[in-house]
Structure 1
Amino acid sequence: MLTLGFSGLDRSMALKRAILGDGWHREQRIVQGLDSAAALVDETGVLAAAAQERYDGVKGTGHFPKDAIDACLRIAGVSMRDVDMVAHGFRYEPSPVWRLDHLSTRWYEQVYAQEVQREIFRAHYPADLADPRIVHVRHHEAHAASSYYLSGFDEALVVVADGMGEQESLSVFEGRGAALRRCATFPIMSSLGILYSVFTHYLGFQAGMDEYKVMGLAPYGDRDRHRAALDEFVQLKPDGDFAIPLLSANKSPLERETHQGVLRLLEERLGPAREPDSDLTSHHMDVAAALQATLERTLLHVLGEHRRRTGLRRLCMAGGVALNCTANGVVLRSGLFDEVFIQPAAGDDGSALGAALYALRQERPAPPTSMRMPYWGDGPTDAEVDAALRDLGPGFESSRYAGEQLIPEVIGLIERGATVALCQGRMEFGPRALGNRSILADPRSPTMRAHLNTVVKQREEFRPFAPAVPVEDAATYFDIAPGTESAYRHMLTVTGVRPPFQDRLPAVTHVDGSARVQVVERDSAPLFWGLLREMGHRTGLPVLVNTSFNLRGQPIVRTAVDAVATFARSTLDALVIGDVLVRRVDVGLAGTERAEPDGDSGVAAGAGSGRTQ
């Protein structure tokens, strides 16, 4: 049964701009329905999935995902007329809450209502679909399905935490066999996702976009300095309950749109908010640290109670909060659960996948299957690669290599300090580059993190980078218990770098000795795995820096044209696209002076690992 899922709330941003008018640019992303995406599934599994931002170039877009839908159909070799059912990852129902004030009414009538979203779909596919084939799935049920039905677990506790669904911010489900049953919910006024986003705004970053920056900043701060204030803001109660009275500070409809009431209270208790792009001080680091600690405590409080109630020893997580890699690591190491699975597109892009899976399993019940890597998007053909390279212009040389001959050439460049981009196979689904659209570099260099942040990626200096390591070697270099390697497959969990290697891996070791690890398996990513193994043979450390192949403000590259154009305007030293290695020849190797395999250990304290929504 061919089922298409899509996420996003088209018209949401347009209505937000109409409500706020000019002068509220940072608040315009305080809105629901961003990260629109599409996914196509059937009884055999996931056929295709992609985020709309990779097609229209607008990061986190909420526009109707027409391009992503068309791509999924094209990848699967079908048309819309072949689709049996379409599922949307929201199900807003008529309710008195939409009559509480004029803004609530506008939101429901112009954006949220099911008939509005069906009208938008039919406007894009007018001749291809009849009404009975469109279904609406509650947002948290879509998130839950996206994780549980791909976990491979025969039973699990499933926890969804984000900004909000339709009327809830955290939901707990029991997954047993083919069935998902909701057993607890928390209201919007107890939203951990909204809490984290408001603090993101307070700290001068973009709410709904930059929460992962706060997570990366937190290890630099003192987690206890603002503990008293955070304990006021987030109150843990008996039986796994909690409340966030801070969020009740928004009194008027406009304050609910901008969180100005909450921000005023934060300034009263914590001092002035940081202006965007101003210096980051120890105060800001301490606030980030206190927030992160509170998130972790609250999650463990909820998870511990529901593990006790249900007796379930496996956990699935989804929703934007499940993109907080540091909290995920705390949960995994807590010992509450024997196994933890987080679907890699845990944010709202993944609700497209979950809506499709939920709708399919309602019609055709079946127990979960185990996913591997989310390589579900577009992949460049040889002809597309050749065409893109013809437009590269002077200053570059290209060489084609057969089979594994490419591997020593690439690692030779990296060993000498080069930064190398990869565009291989089908694009990853979700926010992480997992080896198919990645930038690789030498983790032994004490200056590589700063070089990647300031010169290549053009982003904040404190931002961390992830290490990739073959699954066979993961436990040697990182605090990963044998048998738990699969939890690190999708770069969603932070753990410790083992002390003997922290100084030897400064580019991926965060200030607190942690790293956001990706383990790589040969059968899933043979080229990437081969590069890591070759790095190990040459240097004794089978580890590479892995960061997404994009530049500041740009989504991760998708096509061969995107990859070549981004490489050409960047300072990257080389590009591996298909079986072709492209190098710059107009300048010397940019990274030669950066390659310092055994750099000063004092530099490691400033190096980095580490998006909660």
Structure 2
Amino acid sequence: MLTLGYSGLDRGAALKRAILGDGWRREQRIVQGLDAAAALVDETGVLAAAAQERYDGDKGTGRFPRDAIDACLRAAGATMRDVEVVAHGFRYEPSPVWQLDHLSAQWYQQVYAQQVQRDVFHAHYPADPAGPRFAHVPHHEAHAASSYYLSGFAEALVVVADGMGEQESLTVFEGRGPELRRVASYPILASLGILYSVLTHYLGFQVGMDEYKVMGLAPYGDRQRHRATFDEFVQLKPDGGLAVPLLSANKSPMERETHQGVLRRLEEKLGPAREPDAELGQHHMDVAAAGQDALERALLHVLGEYRRRTGLRRLCLAGGVALNCTANGAILHSGLFDEVFVQPAAGDDGAALGAALYAARQARPAAPTGMAMPYWGDELTGPDVAAALRDLGPEFTTHRLPTDRLVAEVVTLIGRGATVALAQGRMEFGPRALGNRSILADPRSPTMRAHLNNVVKQREEFRPFAPAVPREDAATYFDVPPGTESAFRHMLMVTGVRAPFRDRLPAVTHVDGSARVQVVERESAPLFWALLRETGRRTGLPVLVNTSFNLRGQPIVRTAVDAVATYARSTLDALVVGDVLVTRTGREATA
């Protein structure tokens, strides 16, 4: 049985533009249903998954994921007639809520209604009596399924936190065997995700895109300076209760579209909002720190209560808030749970995967199985690589090398200060590059972080980079508690760099001594693992900088053509695409 899941709310972005007009460009991403993606599963597990942005170049797009769906079907050698169920990761029901005002009615009638979304699907794949059955999966059920059914846990507490599902912002589930059961849910006016996104806007960043910048900025600030104010914004109630009264500051329909009421209240309490191109000051860092602190305390408050009620010692997380790696690390180190699993595509792209898994388990109940690495996207093949390299000019040199030579050459280049892009195998699913579409560099270099931020990726200087380390070496260099190594495979946990190595790993050690670690296993990423081990043999530190293979404003590369073209127009020193090493003729490393 093939089950296809997809996410995104096609027509949502267009309606938002129509409502706001061109004068509200920053607010146009305050919209439900972005990060459209597709996933295909069967009884054996996940066959394929990909985000639509990788095909059309529009980062975070909510457009119907036709390209991603077709790619998943191609990967499985299937057509739509082979699919038994198509599952969409939203289920909006008729409700008096949609009659509260004219804008709410527009959203339901033009975007949210189930018939509207079925019409969108059938505009791309015409209705066929022999075709698949259509299923609408509630958004938080999709998120929960995406994490629990891939965790390998026999039972777990499952918590979904995001901006909003259909009518909730945080939902708690019990997972026991094949069953997922709702335990509690929190309304939209208690949304930690919306609060963090509005804080992102207040700090001059892009809503729905740059929340991780707030997370990266927070360690530069003082968590206590604005704590009393954030205690007003986020109120912790008895028995796991949670309220965010700040969100009630949006009074009119237009304020709910733009969060202008909440932003005014933030300015009243914290001073003027930062303009996008303005300098970042200590005040902004302190606000980011207080917001991050409030998020962590609220999550631990809820988790502690439901850990006590259920007695469950394992935790699964999903939803956009679960992409907050610092909060995830705090949860892991809290001691509340023995194991923590975060599905790598925890945002709305992962709702496509969860919708497929939820529908498949409804039809054929089965207990969770542990997932391998999420290398589920398009695959690089030898002919694709050869074709992509064919038109490179004399300013580039190519060498096809056996693996041992390739590893030796790349480690030598990195040791000399080179930045090397790595494009291998199948593309990762989710926002993190995990070795198959990555840029690698030397973490020992005191200038590498600035070089990558300012020259290669052209982004803010304060943003940290992640270290990759072999599983067997992780606990030596980083605060990875024994038995938790698997929690760090997907680069979604922040933890400490062990004190003796902080000065020796300046490119990956954040200002507070932390790092967003990726643990690499030999069986899942043999070339990447070999590069790390050879680096360790030569330098005594089996660690490399790993950042995503893309440039500013560009999704992570997908194909061999994307990889070669991106490398050619970048300042990167070398590219490994398949078994071919590409360098710039006569050029030395620059960092």
Name the TM-score class by shorter chain: over 0.9
For the residues of structure 1 that align with 2:229 and 2:504, how far apart are their CA atoms? 38
Q: AA paired with 2:99?
A: R
**SS in structure 2 of the partner of residue 77 of structure 1:** coil
For the residues of structure 1 that align with 2:404 and 2:196, how far apart are their CA atoms? 45
Distance 1:129 1:197, change over 3 A: farther
Q: Which residue of 1 aligns with 2:26?
A: 26
- How far residue 402 of structure 1 moved from its aligned partner, in angstroms, is 1.5
For the residues of structure 2 that align with 1:560 and 1:510, how far apart are their CA atoms? 33
Q: Which residue of 2 aligns with 1:382?
A: 382
**SS in structure 2 of the partner of residue 62 of structure 1:** coil
Q: Which residue of 2 aligns with 1:86?
A: 86
For the residues of structure 2 that align with 1:157 and 1:326, how far apart are their CA atoms? 20
Checking the alignment, whether the CA contact within 8 Å between 1:392 and 1:565 is kept in structure 2 is: no
Q: AA paired with 2:277?
A: D
Q: Which residue of 1 aligns with 2:589?
A: 590
For the residues of structure 1 that align with 2:252 and 2:238, how far apart are their CA atoms? 31
Instruction: List aligned pairs for 1:338-349, cutoff 5 A.
Output: 338-349=338-349
**SS in structure 2 of the partner of residue 565 of structure 1:** helix
For the residues of structure 2 that align with 1:372 and 1:506, how far apart are their CA atoms? 31
Q: AA paired with 1:145?
A: A
Distance 1:131 1:395, change over 3 A: closer
Q: Which residue of 2 aligns with 1:522?
A: 522
Q: Which residue of 2 aligns with 1:550?
A: 550
- For structure 2, the 5+ residue unaligned runs are none
User: TM-score, normalising length from structure 2?
Assistant: 0.99
Distance 1:455 1:312, change over 3 A: same
- How far residue 130 of structure 1 moved from its aligned partner, in angstroms, is 6.5
Checking the alignment, whether the CA contact within 8 Å between 2:83 and 2:132 is kept in structure 1 is: no
Q: Which residue of 2 aligns with 1:328?
A: 328
Q: Which residue of 2 aligns with 1:220?
A: 220
For the residues of structure 2 that align with 1:191 and 1:456, how far apart are their CA atoms? 36
- How far residue 405 of structure 1 moved from its aligned partner, in angstroms, is 1.9
Q: Which residue of 2 aligns with 1:186?
A: 186
**SS in structure 1 of the partner of residue 530 of structure 2:** helix
**SS in structure 1 of the partner of residue 458 of structure 2:** coil
- How far residue 556 of structure 1 moved from its aligned partner, in angstroms, is 0.1
Checking the alignment, whether the CA contact within 8 Å between 2:314 and 2:340 is kept in structure 1 is: yes
Checking the alignment, whether the CA contact within 8 Å between 2:80 and 2:132 is kept in structure 1 is: no
**SS in structure 1 of the partner of residue 375 of structure 2:** coil
For the residues of structure 2 that align with 1:93 and 1:272, how far apart are their CA atoms? 39
**SS in structure 2 of the partner of residue 427 of structure 1:** strand
- How far residue 352 of structure 1 moved from its aligned partner, in angstroms, is 0.1
Instruction: List aligned pairs for 1:289-368, cutoff 5 A.
Output: 289-368=289-368
Checking the alignment, whether the CA contact within 8 Å between 2:86 and 2:132 is kept in structure 1 is: no
**SS in structure 1 of the partner of residue 160 of structure 2:** strand
**SS in structure 1 of the partner of residue 174 of structure 2:** strand
Q: Does 1:75 align with 2:75?
A: yes
For the residues of structure 1 that align with 2:72 and 2:112, how far apart are their CA atoms? 25
- How far residue 394 of structure 1 moved from its aligned partner, in angstroms, is 2.4
- How far residue 590 of structure 1 moved from its aligned partner, in angstroms, is 2.9
- For structure 1, the 5+ residue unaligned runs are 595-613
Checking the alignment, whether the CA contact within 8 Å between 1:81 and 1:129 is kept in structure 2 is: no
Checking the alignment, whether the CA contact within 8 Å between 2:322 and 2:328 is kept in structure 1 is: yes
For the residues of structure 2 that align with 1:384 and 1:308, how far apart are their CA atoms? 53
Checking the alignment, whether the CA contact within 8 Å between 1:5 and 1:89 is kept in structure 2 is: yes
Q: Which residue of 2 aligns with 1:607?
A: none
Q: Which residue of 2 aligns with 1:443?
A: 443
Q: AA paired with 2:338?
A: D
- How far residue 403 of structure 1 moved from its aligned partner, in angstroms, is 2.8
For the residues of structure 2 that align with 1:394 and 1:223, how far apart are their CA atoms? 53
For the residues of structure 1 that align with 2:402 and 2:372, how far apart are their CA atoms? 27
Shift >6 Å, 4+ stretches: 129-132
Checking the alignment, whether the CA contact within 8 Å between 1:158 and 1:317 is kept in structure 2 is: yes
Q: AA paired with 2:430?
A: G
Checking the alignment, whether the CA contact within 8 Å between 2:157 and 2:315 is kept in structure 1 is: yes
Question: How many equivalent residue pairs?
Answer: 591
Alignment RMSD (CA, Å): 0.8
For the residues of structure 2 that align with 1:446 and 1:11, how far apart are their CA atoms? 47
- How far residue 393 of structure 1 moved from its aligned partner, in angstroms, is 1.9
Instruction: List aligned pairs for 1:118-517, cutoff 5 A.
Output: 118-126=118-126, 128=128, 133-517=133-517
For the residues of structure 2 that align with 1:105 and 1:132, how far apart are their CA atoms? 30
Deviations along 1:501-546, one digit per CA (max 9) or x if unpaired, are 0000000000000000000000000000000000000100000000
For the residues of structure 2 that align with 1:108 and 1:250, how far apart are their CA atoms? 20
Checking the alignment, whether the CA contact within 8 Å between 2:27 and 2:207 is kept in structure 1 is: yes
Q: Which residue of 2 aligns with 1:605?
A: none
Distance 1:286 1:134, change over 3 A: same
Distance 1:270 1:131, change over 3 A: farther
**SS in structure 1 of the partner of residue 301 of structure 2:** helix
Checking the alignment, whether the CA contact within 8 Å between 2:84 and 2:131 is kept in structure 1 is: no
Deviations along 1:145-185, one digit per CA (max 9) or x if unpaired, are 00000000000000000000000000000000000000000
- How far residue 462 of structure 1 moved from its aligned partner, in angstroms, is 0.4
Q: AA paired with 1:332?
A: L
For the residues of structure 1 that align with 2:450 and 2:367, how far apart are their CA atoms? 46
For the residues of structure 2 that align with 1:109 and 1:571, how far apart are their CA atoms? 48
Distance 1:268 1:236, change over 3 A: same
Checking the alignment, whether the CA contact within 8 Å between 1:496 and 1:514 is kept in structure 2 is: yes
Q: Which residue of 2 aligns with 1:603?
A: none
**SS in structure 2 of the partner of residue 378 of structure 1:** strand
For the residues of structure 2 that align with 1:183 and 1:409, how far apart are their CA atoms? 54
For the residues of structure 2 that align with 1:132 and 1:379, how far apart are their CA atoms? 26
Deviations along 1:293-330, one digit per CA (max 9) or x if unpaired, are 00000000000000000000000000000000000000
Q: Which residue of 1 aligns with 2:41?
A: 41
For the residues of structure 1 that align with 2:379 and 2:355, how far apart are their CA atoms? 24
Checking the alignment, whether the CA contact within 8 Å between 2:416 and 2:589 is kept in structure 1 is: no
